[in-house]
Amino acid sequence: MKNYDYIIIGSGIAGLYDALLFKDHGSVLIITKGSIDECNTKHAQGGIAAAISSIDSPELHFKDTIAAGAGLCDPEAVRILTEEAADRIADLVKLGVPFDTVNGEIALTKEAAHSVPRILHAGGDATGERIEVTLSNAARASRAITIFEYFLATEILVKNNKVYGVAALDLRSGTREEFNCRNLILATGGVGRLFKITTNPDIATGDGVALAYRTGAEIIDMEFFQFHPTALRMPGVPLFLISEAVRGEGGVLRNVRGERFMKKYSPQGELAPRDVVARGIVAEMKETGANRVFLDVTHLPARILSARFPQIYRFCLDHGLDITTSLIPVVPAAHYSMGGVKTNYWGETNVEGLFASGEVASTGVHGANRLASNSLLEVLVFGKRIVERTLRGNAHLKATPSPDVYTLKKRDTSDINDTTLNVTALQSLLWDNVGIVRSGKELEEAADTLAAWEKQLEPATDRPSYELANMVTVGRLMAEAALIREESRGAHYRSDFPNASNAWLKHIVFRKKAAKSQK
Ligand SMILES: Cc1cc2nc3c(=O)[nH]c(=O)nc-3n(C[C@H](O)[C@H](O)[C@H](O)COP(=O)(O)OP(=O)(O)OC[C@H]3O[C@@H](n4cnc5c(N)ncnc54)[C@H](O)[C@@H]3O)c2cc1C
């Protein structure tokens, strides 16, 4: 068994940024299940939020973040996020990320629910790609960082309640390997592939949440999942995100009758929070009997569109759609997980030696809904804190367990008729029953079906079977959490409980071995 000071699972911004910080303090291994750049990060378009302009301040960024989180942000985590933002942006600049500039100053754009322009971007709408390329080149160039591509992490190794390593499947040879470490950092990204319609690439199957849950880590806020309002929908064309920044720059939404409709749903119109816009679109599609709405940017200057959104402009043009003259057909799509592995302000989970960073983690900054472009920032701010924490050499690197947690209850699955389990069936179930608009009946049905599927799972042997098992576990956590929360708040909307309730100003935390059973 090989030994490392730090093992990081995942090679998106979270994994790479921490690897580059750790490399001066010990040996680092990155395990990643695809090629190094297969990740959500590469697809990020809009940018990174940070209060760096003269008309902005961490306090204003704090207020906007808290407002988007609908009562469930952890104010201290948000304070850390917004106050440490500028320093972390400076780190990225030092690492060579080429942010766009205007007259020598970093260019900033506005996105929904931000009070001022504060989104840094690179290559126009290629922010994630520029970050991924810059960081992966730096990681590859470092002799202190070993990178194993096509290695799937399958189990977190624990002894005496302390993490000592990870088991992984070498996807090329099919052999199982074990690696030892002092600190294990989960940087496995999101869970978007649980849904039929998603902006997330293939890797986003929730592996980190499932691995951590099985290890006894606490999983929090799984009912809060963000649906992005605008993904390109054209027959035969892969789903493609149309960034929020397009609406920020003046894009408007129209129904299939050509009418603008967002003011019906929010005084903020197209720049309302994502959940409001997504539900507005769903309602409008229902009312007009259409399977899409349109994003209209034809009134904006063509040269600005092609310069500011080169990826979107080019992608659409390559598929026969000139956005400067034609409407863009769009639908909402599964996008971002606010919930995940619960961490404290130092990225520590309740399991000693186990840290979580990036989309897999839930640090408390997003609450019930993420403010656009806060996720890349969260990775940097809390990723840096993980490094600082491990360097302190404290023997007890773990968060205090939550006092009040749920366990998954046993479900009677004898009545479930359709028990065909495959990825497509799971994605349809989650989209239909745990999607943008939920109800108790549909959530019960989903939870029962997922519980029946859990019983059917054969021991996993390859990447698809491991991922399927992980998706069933994560899907169940989402459905159960959404069922427990009998109210609507942020990204979680229940048609049977359409209002927010003060009684629910609290979090739902699951732990495998818990003190209290689910009601
Ligand atoms: C289309 C799109 C646009 C977005 N735009 C923005 C934006 O403008 N601004 C913003 O702030 N956020 C944006 N986001 C969200 C943001 O990109 C992600 O939250 C962020 O990149 C997550 O980074 P990460 O490193 O945590 O995860 P990822 O970048 O997804 O990396 C996860 C890594 O873990 C690996 N992995 C997973 N499971 C395993 C396993 N079992 N074994 C080994 N390796 C594993 C994957 O292969 C991958 O390398 C966007 C997301 C998408 C999908």
Pick the closest to residue 72 from 371, 334, 336 (CA basis). Answer: 371
Helix axes 374-391, 75-95, angle to 10 degrees: 90
Examine the pLDDT at 418 and tell me if it is beyond 80. Answer: no
Residue minimizing CA distance to atom 26 of ligand 1: 358
Across residues 297-312, what is the average pLDDT?
94
> Residue 195 C-alpha to ligand 1 middle, in angstroms?
16
- Which range has the worst mean pLDDT, 3-12, 391-400, 429-438, 493-502? 391-400
DSSP bridge pairs for 329: 294
* Tally of CA atoms within 13 A in the half-sphere of 281 that contains its CB: 28
pTM (predicted TM-score): 0.95
pLDDT, tens digit, 9 for 90 and up, residues 207-224: 999 999 999 999 999 999
Question: Is 279 part of the annotated catalytic residue set?
Answer: no
- Which range has the worst mean pLDDT, 68-72, 270-274, 363-367, 497-501? 270-274
Examine the pLDDT at 435 and tell me if it is beyond 90. Answer: yes
Examine the pLDDT at 515 and tell me if it is beyond 50. Answer: no
Across residues 507-519, what is the average pLDDT?
72
User: What is 56-108 written as a DSSP string?
Assistant: --HHHHHHHHHHHTTT-S-HHHHHHHHHHHHHHHHHHHHHT--B-EETTEE-E
Question: β-strand 108-109 against 162-170: which pairing, if any?
Answer: unpaired
Q: Are 475 and 210 in contact (CB under 8 A)?
A: no
Per-residue pLDDT at 1: 64
pLDDT, tens digit, 9 for 90 and up, residues 78-120: 999 999 999 999 999 999 999 999 999 999 998 888 999 999 9
Question: How many Å apart are CA 139 and CA 149, to the nearest integer?
Answer: 13
Across residues 372-381, what is the average pLDDT?
96
| DSSP three-state, residue 474 | helix
Pocket test residue of 36, 37, 40, 209 for ligand 1, highest count of atoms within 8 A of CB? 40
Cα 230 to the center of its chain, rounded Å: 16
Across residues 71-78, what is the average pLDDT?
98
Spell out which residues line ligand 1, taking CB within 6 angstroms.
9-15, 31-34, 38-41, 43-48, 127-128, 152-153, 187-190, 199-200, 203, 207, 241, 336, 358-360, 373, 375-376, 379
- Quick one: what percent of the chain has pLDDT higher than 90? 89
> Residue 280 C-alpha to ligand 1 middle, in angstroms?
27
User: What is 376-400 written as a DSSP string?
Assistant: HHHHHHHHHHHHHHHHTT-S---PP
Question: How many Å apart are CA 360 and CA 213, to the nearest integer?
Answer: 12
Per-residue pLDDT at 55: 97
Average pLDDT in the chain: 95
Could you identify the atom of ligand 1 that is nearest to the CA of residue 211? 41
Per-residue pLDDT at 499: 98
Examine the pLDDT at 132 and tell me if it is beyond 90. Answer: yes
Could you identify the atom of ligand 1 that is nearest to the CA of residue 200? 53
How confident is residue 162, by pLDDT bands cut at 50, 70 and 90?
very high
DSSP bridge pairs for 122: 99
Per-residue pLDDT at 516: 45
> Residue 288 C-alpha to ligand 1 middle, in angstroms?
35
Strand order in the sheet with 108-109: 48-49, 119-120, 108-109
Per-residue pLDDT at 244: 83
